[in-house]
Amino acid sequence: METVVSGIRPTGKLHLGNYFGAYKNFLTLQDSHRCYFFIADYHSLTTHPNPADLRKNALHVLAEYIALGLDPEKCAIYLQSDLPETSELYLFMAMNAYKGELERVTSFKDKIKDNPNNINAGLLTYPVLMAADILIHHGTKVPVGKDQEQHLEMARTFGNRFNRIYDTNYFAEPTAFNFNNKLVKVPGLSGTGKMSKSAGEADCIYLCDDAKTLEKKIKRAKTDAGPSAPHSEMSPEIKNLFDLMALVSTNETCSFFEEEHAKASIRYGDFKGQLAKDMEAFIAPKREAILGLVGDTKKLNSIAQLGKEKAHASGAKTLKEVRKIIGFGS
Catalogue the active-site residues. 111, 194, 197
DSSP characters over 28-55: HHTTTSEEEEEE-TTGGGGG---HHHHH
For residue 3, CA distances in Å to 57, 98, 138, 314 come to 27, 28, 7, 11
Residue 75 and residue 126: Cα distance in Å, rounded? 25
Burial class (CB in 10 A: 0-12, 13-18, 19+), 167: exposed
In 3D space, the residue among 88, 165, 129 whose CA is nearest the CA of residue 5 turns out to be 129
Residue 119 and residue 109: Cα distance in Å, rounded? 10
Residue 140 and residue 33: Cα distance in Å, rounded? 10
Residue partners of 38: CB distance under 8 A and separation at least 6: 5, 6, 7, 77, 78, 79, 80, 83, 133, 307, 311
Contact 74, 307 (CB under 8 A): no
Residue partners of 97: CB distance under 8 A and separation at least 6: 125, 127, 128, 158
For residue 122, CA distances in Å to 114, 187, 200 come to 16, 27, 22
Residue 164 and residue 174: Cα distance in Å, rounded? 16
Helix (H, G, I), strand (E, B) or coil at 20: helix
Q: How many CB atoms lie within 10 A of CB 227?
A: 19
In 3D space, the residue among 324, 1, 6, 323 whose CA is nearest the CA of residue 177 turns out to be 6
